[in-house]
Structure 1
């Protein structure tokens, strides 16, 4: 239980292709604001970008349930329910944990589609083609090229900034979660299913980038509709000129400040 003298815990959850150290600016800001922060990587993710690139086999073949169980075990060691902030697939994972009543609040930024979300825009298909072009990638870790990163993450940036972010933060990503999400609406037991009807869960903020190719705005708005049967707080914030890189690019602070403001509104 947190008290006025106990910092509230915040856990940052990265998505595919970005190393967890890409949250460094966020963790520093939230610490300065009085939160106790942690940004643990997914199962098998080494401590550094260089190690992750050198050891893709350690990352491969981890699915959605593996990642959820990994973060649930981390949460179980805390004295209070944490605030979860997730990007991309990390946003989906954070929503699942929220639906399981394991979070005080969740912020899902450009979150991967959950079961029940139907829109599948062409840009999203193109963004995930590096994985889906080979069925064997389900059990492998797949890297993006700089050009692929530019389309999927950096399309709202200059060529130079996209290249810099690619070199600084990208790592191989397991293909399994993407295959699981793609089949979600055909699988009654899909790991991409989220308890969107939970009435007692903490508040949820969905954030969408209007120029996101990987998780277009239509996907996030469809996600919002999945929560229509719950009276728990569910809000949506849009950054119209931002792409999938919005947590790591030059405008990250605008997004982080919006998150902090929303948390203060929730008395967190």
Structure 2
């Protein structure tokens, strides 16, 4: 089946944020004729402000990369057709892992979190995420990113009011277990395995997942009979889903889908 004939899209949210980050994208794709889903992660199906008030919630702390990936695997297998997966950050990594299981017609990994053993020496990468691992702290208590860290990691260079509004609307407590599992075989990608068409997109101003790290992820795929593409967007931060002119990125994704 050509990807362009598939009319189901599942958006996979990344770490730290509410699935509401996809609201505009979901509506945009639906206007183009797609049936779209943006499931919340387990125990995160509430307003961001509500979940922050409930912090620390041991249920969120129990989420791991394995369990959340399995949650999405179960979700997509119940759909009437293999969907197109579009994941951001950790959602991008889960998109890679689900394609590896042959559970999608295609995948788009936006600012994808790195699989096992894929690292970068970029200082911004370490600065953005080291607190989320919570080494030497209780793994059963989730981590809540500060506004200052949100400004650096997600919305660097954006107007202060946009930084504040996005933090209030989207920022969620996050599981340390999730990040620690990303260092294990749970996050292993078999780069030699054939896979459905896969597009990586990156932002030149992304602090958490630098464009160079995304490019390294893309270049590791080895199967010459599988479609693997890469696109870098100038001036985009890790907040690419809500950043001004996000439609440019969405249109690129739609056009890529139509061509495969």
The alignment's TM-score, normalised by the length of structure 1, stands at 0.90
Partner of 2:111: 110
Partner of 1:150: 151
Partner of 2:98: 97
Q: How far does the alpha carbon of each residue in 1:19-46 deviate from its partner, in whole angstroms, 9 at most, with x for none?
A: 0011000000011000000000112212
Aligned residues: 257
Flag the 1:155–1:227 CA change in 2: closer, same or farther, 3 A. Answer: same
Q: How far does the alpha carbon of each residue in 1:174-216 deviate from its partner, in whole angstroms, 9 at most, with x for none?
A: 11121222x34xxxxx1011232222x2100001011111001
Partner of 1:126: 127
User: Is 1:213–2:211 an aligned residue pair?
Assistant: no
How far apart are the structure 2 equivalents of 1:140 and 1:89?
Answer: 20
Flag the 1:34–1:249 CA change in 2: closer, same or farther, 3 A. Answer: same
Helix, strand or coil at the partner of 1:68: helix
Partner of 1:187: none
Q: Once the 2 structures are TM-superposed, how far is the Cα of residue 8 of structure 1 from its aligned partner? A: 1.3
Tell me which of 191, 216, 240 is aligned to 2:234.
240
Q: How far does the alpha carbon of each residue in 1:135-173 deviate from its partner, in whole angstroms, 9 at most, with x for none?
A: 325332211111100000011312221121111111111
Matched-pair contact (CA < 8 Å) for 2:12–2:87: yes
Partner of 2:246: 252
The alignment's TM-score, normalised by the length of structure 2, stands at 0.93
User: Is 1:70–2:63 an aligned residue pair?
Assistant: no
Flag the 1:112–1:137 CA change in 2: closer, same or farther, 3 A. Answer: farther
Matched-pair contact (CA < 8 Å) for 1:86–1:111: yes
Matched-pair contact (CA < 8 Å) for 1:103–1:202: yes
Matched-pair contact (CA < 8 Å) for 2:6–2:105: no
Q: Unaligned 5+ residue runs, structure 2?
A: none
Flag the 1:7–1:230 CA change in 2: closer, same or farther, 3 A. Answer: closer
Q: Unaligned 5+ residue runs, structure 1?
A: 185-189
How far apart are the structure 2 equivalents of 1:215 and 1:156?
Answer: 16
How far apart are the structure 2 equivalents of 1:55 and 1:105?
Answer: 36
Which stretch shifts more, 31-40 or 216-225?
216-225
Q: Once the 2 structures are TM-superposed, how far is the Cα of residue 7 of structure 1 from its aligned partner? A: 6.8
